[in-house]
């Protein structure tokens, strides 16, 4: 059935305007779609979106719901359900531009011939890429503000689970046995009074009034897992200094089984944040980034191999400071495969460069968009294509790309072999106080839920709740079941 009424309406509303046309399924609107639509809108004056009807391959959300979603986007001037082929409609509409995702550029594009006949243009883009800062801190207190956390209600409905099921999953986590491998980091927050500007040179003058330290890096992953009830072994490399003493004492006090290997060629990584009036003025990092010596690497592996029997989950928490050289990663991966132990990985790259794809055959990897793009050297593809490329390169079963304030994109293995589904979750916390550590809490809780048998949808929802709790206070504070359950039982649904 042709879209006669829609065609007449569009032509009437777009007189003397350059029409831009986009079509697709748009099952779940995610940040990649928004970037594409924004780019399309900027190319002309009137953006028309044709939503393929329920008969189209790949459409699994009701067409009316998909239409409502597109109509709510400010960049879209007109959206409608397309009941004929995009090529047939383009031939009648004759838009100035047709926009498709970058991944279509090397494929066959039947629209091209029609556009050439009347002077239209076919454009390929996945929108502008932007990387979110992770240095946002806008309040000093540690208490979690429940009111700032909003749980999306549509995601549980789509994937058919209840909040009671999430509570049951969090209870089952208590029996897990977990190994965490990665870089130890200590975060020190130095609160200062601002005295003013120096008269000698343009320098801000402050005086320290309070200091507080927190375990970060892979150490907080271990503490989160322990706080959620797991029996945790933590493997890492440290220096011979006072910071090491703090780390050992802190982990011991929480009941973590520690395996810390001292390397005299490096300090224990310490990151200091100087803050005044609820803002970070300066960050100073005390660290070395070279790979650990072969002797320490061999001892590291030997102790891991001794405790892996009976372990349910291995978490690689890599900050690319040399603690996890490739040889060690490959050795641990091989023995975990032999023992059928679930493995997950995150390889963080902020000021340093890493490659999350070097962790092969993981059940889950959770890079940021920046980390995913660096791993596969792709700065043009849309998010879904990006996730699939990373999955193939790393041979991972599931990929979750974390997007900061835009939430997370979930690219998941389904029960059908070779079949993949993509969905998204928004960021749950609308007023973060300290976004550092969000990825660590997300990785820990999501992977623990998967380790007790929860599917990727329930697990990522729990992980998002954990991240919302984490960024609701300043500093890395270990999660507890009480934190998670308080959020599950809250009434802030959107």
Give residue-wise pLDDT tens across range 108-136. Answer: 999 999 999 999 999 998 765 544 332 33
> What is the rounded CA–CA span in Å between residue 304 and residue 181?
9
pLDDT for position 138: 34
Segment 410-463, tens digit of pLDDT: 999 775 555 688 999 998 887 777 777 789 999 999 999 999 999 999 999 999
The domain limits of the chain are 4-124, 146-488
Q: Which homologous superfamily does the CATH classification assign to the domain defined by 4-124?
A: HUPs (3.40.50.620)
Considering the chain, what percentage of its residues have pLDDT values greater than 90? Answer: 61
- SS3 category, 166: helix
In 3D space, the residue among 393, 360, 362 whose CA is nearest the CA of residue 375 turns out to be 393
pLDDT surpassing 60 at residue 145? no
- Return phi, psi of residue 190, to 5°: -110, 105
- CATH assignment, 146-488: 3.40.1190.20
C-alpha of 19 from chain center: 35
Element (H, E) at 469: helix 456-470
Q: For 372-412, write each residue's pLDDT tens digit.
A: 999 999 998 889 999 999 999 999 999 999 998 889 999 99
Concatenate the DSSP letters of all residues of 402-423 into one string.
E-GGG-EEEEEE-SSTT-EEEE
Q: Quick one: pLDDT band at residue 478, thresholds 50, 70, 90?
A: confident
Residue 218 has pLDDT above 70, yes or no: yes
pLDDT > 70 fraction of the chain, expressed in percent and rounded: 92
**H-state helical runs in 138-208:** 154-158, 163-172
And the tokens for 393? 């390169």
């Amino acid at each position: 059935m042709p879209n006669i009424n829609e065609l007449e309406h569009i032509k009437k509303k777009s007189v003397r305007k350059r029409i831009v046309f986009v079509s697709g399924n748009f099952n779940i609107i995610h940040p990649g779609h928004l970037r594409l639509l924004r780019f399309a809108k900027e190319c002309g004056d009137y953006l028309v979106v044709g939503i393929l009807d329920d008969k189209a391959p790949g459409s699994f959300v009701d067409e009316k719901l998909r239409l409502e979603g597109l109509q709510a986007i400010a960049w879209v001037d007109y959206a409608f359900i397309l009941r004929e082929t995009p090529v047939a409609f383009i031939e009648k509409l004759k838009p100035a531009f047709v926009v498709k995702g970058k991944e279509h550029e090397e494929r066959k594009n039947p629209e091209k011939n029609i556009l050439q006949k009347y002077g239209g243009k076919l454009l390929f883009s996945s929108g502008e890429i932007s990387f979110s800062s992770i240095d946002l801190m806008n309040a000093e207190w540690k208490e979690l503000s429940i009111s700032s956390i909003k749980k999306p209600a549509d995601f549980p409905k789509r994937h058919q689970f209840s909040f009671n099921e999430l509570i049951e999953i969090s209870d089952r986590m208590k029996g897990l046995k977990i190994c965490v491998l990665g870089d130890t980091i200590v975060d020190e927050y130095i609160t200062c009074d601002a005295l003013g500007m120096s008269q000698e040179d343009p320098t801000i003058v402050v005086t320290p009034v309070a200091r507080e330290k927190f375990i970060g890096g892979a150490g907080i992953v271990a503490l989160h897992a322990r706080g959620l009830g797991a029996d945790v072994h933590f493997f890492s490399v440290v220096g011979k200094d006072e910071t090491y003493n703090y780390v050992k004492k802190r982990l011991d006090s929480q009941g973590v089984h520690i395996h810390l290997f001292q390397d005299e060629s490096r300090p224990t990584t310490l990151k200091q944040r100087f803050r005044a009036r609820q803002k970070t003025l300066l960050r100073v990092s005390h660290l070395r980034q070279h790979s650990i010596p072969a002797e320490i690497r061999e001892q590291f592996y030997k102790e891991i191999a001794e405790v892996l029997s009976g372990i349910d989950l291995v978490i690689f928490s890599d900050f690319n400071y040399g603690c996890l050289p490739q040889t060690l990663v490959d050795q641990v991966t091989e023995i975990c495969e032999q023992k059928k132990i679930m493995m997950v990985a995150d390889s963080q790259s902020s000021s340093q460069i890493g490659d999350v794809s070097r962790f092969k055959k993981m059940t889950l990897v959770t890079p940021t968009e920046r980390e995913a793009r660096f791993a596969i050297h792709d700065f043009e593809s849309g998010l879904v294509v990006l996730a699939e490329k990373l999955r193939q390169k790393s041979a991972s079963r599931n990929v979750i790309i974390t997007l900061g304030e835009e939430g997370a994109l979930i690219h998941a293995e389904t029960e059908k072999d070779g079949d993949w589904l993509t969905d998204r979750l928004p960021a749950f916390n609308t007023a973060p106080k300290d976004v550092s550590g969000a990825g660590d809490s997300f990785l820990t809780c999501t992977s623990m839920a998967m380790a007790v048998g929860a599917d990727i949808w329930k697990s990522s929802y729990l992980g998002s709740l954990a991240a919302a709790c984490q960024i609701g206070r300043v500093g890395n504070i270990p999660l507890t079941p009480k934190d998670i359950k308080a959020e599950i039982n809250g009434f802030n649904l959107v």
